[in-house]
Structure 1
Amino acid sequence: MGILLSACAQSEPVVLPDGPGRVVALENPAIEEASGLAVSRVSADRLWLHNDSGGAARLYAVDGQGRSLGEVDLPALQNLDWEDMDAFVMDDSPMLLIADVGDNSAQRPVVTLHWLEEPEPDQTTTAVTTSLHLRYPDGPRDCEAVAVDSGEAAIYLLTKRDQPPRLYRVPLAAQPLVATAEFVGTVNSIPEPTEQDLLEDPAYGANRSQPTAMSFAADGRRALVVTYKDAYLYERQDGESWLAALNRAPRRIDLPQFPQTEAGGMRADGRTAYVASEQLPAAMVEVTLP
């Protein structure tokens, strides 16, 4: 059954949509508003997710079939507006990044990036290694797309509501109590909503091109940017900056039209992507990348 709801609107429980890729339901009913997803650097068949703002400070582990592997609490944290996750390697240790960077009204003067050693799914609690408080050099921004370049030891943030989206960078080794991100440039390659998008969804169609997740392959060769409508795959050449790579014409990755697509990530090899939605039943799609 095709889905008829907005790709951006909140919804009541819906039938899982048909569409490209392999769509599965996430069996853990606690994953009710998935806004961050990362593919483990320990096991390619382990994924980590978290819920959106106001949810528990908790990470949910699932496998590629959507089956629950465990839940891990971070009791020292609060989920103010967790919007993205990433998995990366630092000093030979597998790590997870939690991006508490959501800011719909652009009112938060400081946002926070947390990272921690990747736990085992059967742990009940864990603690972060580092919490980096961050401000933007040009005022508050709403952001839902964050990725780590392990080779560069840097975190990249792509804003959501700016047109075109703005790309920022902060090193993992940033030391100040409140670090200031570097503005890298604008990303002009994401197609704007079409007339058909606006006709199909007058209320939310104009938002369909907003970035809601970002992920880099482990070797730094590929980037995936997820929007409410589609995902976009970018290839990076030797010696090329991420800004240059993200401004080249991407490959469009067709996605099932979930009610609200806000979580996504790639496996370390950059050949498989997973994208999840904010809905009940929580849905996830596995897509083989070209």
Structure 2
Amino acid sequence: MRRLPLVLATVALAALAATAPAASAAEPPAASFVIEDPRITESSGLAASRTHPGVYWTHNDSDDGPYLYGVDAATGRTVARITMTGVGRPRDVEAVSLGPDGQLYVGDIGDNRNGGWEHVWIYRFPEPKQLGDVTVKATQFTVKYADGPRDAEALMVHPKTGRVYIASKDREKGGLYEGPANLSGGGANVFRRVAAVPWVTDGAFSPDGNRLALRGYLVARTYPWRDGRPEGEGERVDAPWQGQAESVTYTADGSALMFGAEGAKSRVVAIPVAAQPGPGASGAPSPRSSPNAAAADPEPAGEGGNFTRGALVLAGATVLVMGGRRLLRRRRSD
């Protein structure tokens, strides 16, 4: 009977351990990699897969396909090639982004006539659940700008609202253009200028939707995103020098920015993202502190939720141990 407290303590520790979060498939730690596929010589866009951890979608910017390639960051090798049908012949594919609906958005938005195309296109289709070479039927959307044609290389889909944004490539009058709440396949989708931005070649939203990253050949910046607009002058990111610097995306977990460039066996460089200030500061609020977080999940299943449940289990286990000790003392006195 002297082992009773030890047995109860062991049970308590086991119960406490049971409150720890279960292991799950996670995004591999961000690391730079080289795109090994000899078919990819003009990588002009990047998007981190949410379905396949460690895989990045990319494409050539012209005279290829229409194809989208899935590259495994661990090896640099192509693990999927998507052939799009139903989109005609693309002119100048410059960007790819993944929406909250699990669909890939491909931006055929480049304008080799320097603002001469009357319209450009966006192609959309579901991200494949299985890796490999597949053919998909994409939906084609016609895009026009409210203030006239322009060249662009950056297309970003907000990860919460699903709204599509395009940043024009203009050294003096670069602008961020907002598309309609829902794209329509039946007519032109008019994009309207909502903010001035620098001359950029690509952009991406953070996975929580609180920041917008924009890059050019020489400079990259991230901006707090509030009320559907970038805020302030942004913060400079130590982007690598890559020559024909054409692409940027966040890792799926938001821990790093991945910078890509054109060229055979081009290198994708990982730059860790610094922690941002909390609410009320100049940075973006953390996902836990978003206005809807409390209503959507009154006790998050993250560290706070697990700590609360663990404390309750530990308190209960303590009661068991103390009760066992009292029972032992009573039996000894009998």
Provide, for residues 64-83 of structure 1, a one-character-per-residue CA deviation record: whole Å limited to 9, x for no partner.
Answer: 23222121211333221100
Aligned to 2:220: 231
Structure 1: distance between partners of 2:178 and 2:119 = 15
Matched, 1:241 2:241: no
Aligned to 2:201: 212
1:28 aligned partner, one-letter code: D
How far apart are residue 185 of structure 1 and its match? Answer: 2.7
Structure 2: distance between partners of 1:89 and 1:153 = 6
Quickly say closer, same or farther: Cα 1:278–1:109, change in 2 above 3 A. Answer: same
Provide, for residues 156-207 of structure 1, a one-character-per-residue CA deviation record: whole Å limited to 9, x for no partner.
Answer: 11111252411111135233411211221323xx4xxxxxxxxxxxxxxxxx
1:115 aligned partner, one-letter code: R
SS of the equivalent of 1:171 reads coil
2:100 aligned partner, one-letter code: V
Structure 2: distance between partners of 1:52 and 1:230 = 21
Aligned to 1:177: 187
Quickly say closer, same or farther: Cα 1:231–1:22, change in 2 above 3 A. Answer: farther
Give runs of aligned pairs for residues 198-209 of structure 1, distance below 5 A.
none
Q: Which structure ranks higher in relative contact order (CA pairs < 8 Å, sequence separation ≥ 6)?
A: 1
Aligned to 2:79: 69
How far apart are residue 22 of structure 1 and its match? Answer: 5.1
Residue pair 1:153, 1:171 contacting (<8 A) in 2 also = no
TM-score relative to the length of structure 2: 0.67
Aligned to 2:168: 159
Provide, for residues 234-288 of structure 1, a one-character-per-residue CA deviation record: whole Å limited to 9, x for no partner.
Answer: 223xxx234342xx13222222211201112112433222121111222211221
How far apart are residue 226 of structure 1 and its match? Answer: 1.5
2:72 aligned partner, one-letter code: D
TM-score relative to the length of structure 1: 0.77
State the aligned residue count.
Answer: 240
Give runs of aligned pairs for residues 61-140 of structure 1, distance below 5 A.
61-65=70-74, 66-77=76-87, 78-90=89-101, 94-104=102-112, 105-119=114-128, 120-128=130-138, 130-140=139-149
Aligned to 1:283: 267
Residue pair 1:36, 1:262 contacting (<8 A) in 2 also = yes
Structure 1: distance between partners of 2:236 and 2:252 = 20
Quickly say closer, same or farther: Cα 1:281–1:123, change in 2 above 3 A. Answer: closer
How far apart are residue 23 of structure 1 and its match? Answer: 4.0
Aligned to 1:204: none
Aligned to 1:263: 247
How far apart are residue 115 of structure 1 and its match? Answer: 1.1
- After the TM superposition, which segments of 4 or more aligned residues of structure 1 sit over 4 Å from their partners? none
How far apart are residue 153 of structure 1 and its match? Answer: 2.7
Structure 1: distance between partners of 2:98 and 2:140 = 16
Structure 1: distance between partners of 2:196 and 2:109 = 18
Residue pair 1:41, 1:268 contacting (<8 A) in 2 also = yes
Structure 2: distance between partners of 1:174 and 1:97 = 11
Structure 1: distance between partners of 2:119 and 2:144 = 5
Aligned to 2:332: none
Give runs of aligned pairs for residues 180-199 of structure 1, distance below 5 A.
180-187=190-197, 190=198
How far apart are residue 28 of structure 1 and its match? Answer: 0.7
How far apart are residue 27 of structure 1 and its match? Answer: 1.0
Aligned to 2:59: 50
Structure 2: distance between partners of 1:40 and 1:95 = 10
2:213 aligned partner, one-letter code: L
1:243 aligned partner, one-letter code: R
Residue pair 1:134, 1:180 contacting (<8 A) in 2 also = yes
Residue pair 2:42, 2:262 contacting (<8 A) in 1 also = yes
Of Structure 1 and Structure 2, the greater helix share is in: 2
Residue pair 1:81, 1:100 contacting (<8 A) in 2 also = yes
Percent sequence identity over aligned pairs: 28
Residue pair 1:41, 1:89 contacting (<8 A) in 2 also = no
Quickly say closer, same or farther: Cα 1:72–1:153, change in 2 above 3 A. Answer: closer
Which structure has the bigger radius of gyration?
2
Q: Which runs of 5+ in 1 are unaligned?
A: 1-20, 191-209
1:286 aligned partner, one-letter code: A
Structure 1: distance between partners of 2:265 and 2:251 = 24
Q: Which runs of 5+ in 2 are unaligned?
A: 1-29, 275-334
CA RMSD in angstroms, aligned pairs only:
1.9
How far apart are residue 32 of structure 1 and its match? Answer: 0.4
Provide, for residues 40-97 of structure 1, a one-character-per-residue CA deviation record: whole Å limited to 9, x for no partner.
Answer: 121331100000122221111112232221212113332211001101221xxx1111
How far apart are residue 150 of structure 1 and its match? Answer: 3.5
